[in-house]
Amino acid sequence: MRSLINIQDIEAFVAAAEAGSINRASVRLNLTQPATTRRIQNFEAAFGGDALFDRSVKPAILTALGNHVLEHCRRVLTTVAELEACATRSAGPTGELRVGVAHGLGEMVLTSPLDALRRSFPHVRMQVSANWTTDLIEQVPGGAIDCAIGLITDAHRLPGGVRRLSVGTERIVIVSSSSRASTKPDGSPWRLRDLAEEGWFLNPRGCGCRAALERAFDRHNILIQVAAEIFGEDLQLSLLAQSGGLGLAPYRQLERSPHRAELRALDVADFQLSATVTLVRNLVPSRFDPAIELLARQLKVKLQDSNGT
């Protein structure tokens, strides 16, 4: 007699298939590895013991049957989530909403948007983690976080199974101390080649804005001189004001810096970079949909207010 299938076993199977390992699936499900393994074994038993994973390779991959079953399981979970969402929209969601925030955007998220979420959904607790945008958006499809708030540039490629909600734009500018004019002495804009000998204070590798700047230097066959890798634009702006050099920062962050009087945004003809502040969430409906939608609206208001629009 074949085992009965339950939702928990389906969730464990989908988590392992999408995350690529039992360990990551266990983190996603908030279970121990043995408990996750048992659920997957129970699920396979429902198919008469036919293997859904090829365990002869490391890491294990889905068999042909496993891929076929995965698509059915995703449809089942989507239907269940939609049903739960109908119920929670009237009762209000509860539980822990896991939000990933890109470095440099914490101030925008952890002020009035968080306050509004707490007032509207008192039974939702928001757990916030910080990382680079690229790393955050990769965590959304596997369920490690419920949504990510990042700075998306043209270089970013979003994975399948996610939805993006744009809440505003950020202009990324090259910053120097105020001892340097915003343009060259003849009034023309600077070019990257004019800045080739300068030392740059930049985020460590993994920052999308730094990667865009390095690609711009590469296109002109110029070697960028990195004076120091310093985590966080606020500290970089402080050092630029004191010791000179060059850096990158969102214009909004430059404008609210306590060192604004000692800093200047440069007009650079061959480097323009804008980023979209974007909330990335899973396509599959969840009980947190009303809270995520409110968070997106409040982020848009916050960004408009901080830009003076």
Per-residue pLDDT of 269-280, as tens digits, reads 999 998 899 999
Structure tokens at 55: 């365990």
Whole-number pLDDT of residue 1: 45
- Rg of the chain over Cα atoms, rounded to whole angstroms, equals 24
Strand-pairing partners, residue 115, are: none
Task: Check whether 92 has a pLDDT greater than 70.
Answer: no
Residues 6+ apart with CB under 8 A from 308: none
- What is the structure's pLDDT at 142? 75
The chain-wide mean pLDDT, for the chain, equals 87
Distance between CA atoms of residues 299 and 138, nearest Å: 21
Q: How confident is the model over 211-218, as a mean pLDDT?
A: 93
Q: How confident is the model at residue 281 (pLDDT cuts 50, 70, 90)?
A: very high
Averaged pLDDT for residues 138-150: 87
pLDDT tier for residue 57 given thresholds of 50, 70 and 90: confident
Mean pLDDT of 285-294: 87
pLDDT at 256: 85
CA distance 135 to 159: 11
pLDDT at 91: 56
pTM above 0.85, yes or no: no
Q: What is the mean pLDDT of residues 171-196?
A: 93
Strand ranges, E, within 70-111: 95-102
**pLDDT reported for residue 90:** 55
Q: Distance between CA atoms of 141 and 145, rounded to whole angstroms? A: 8
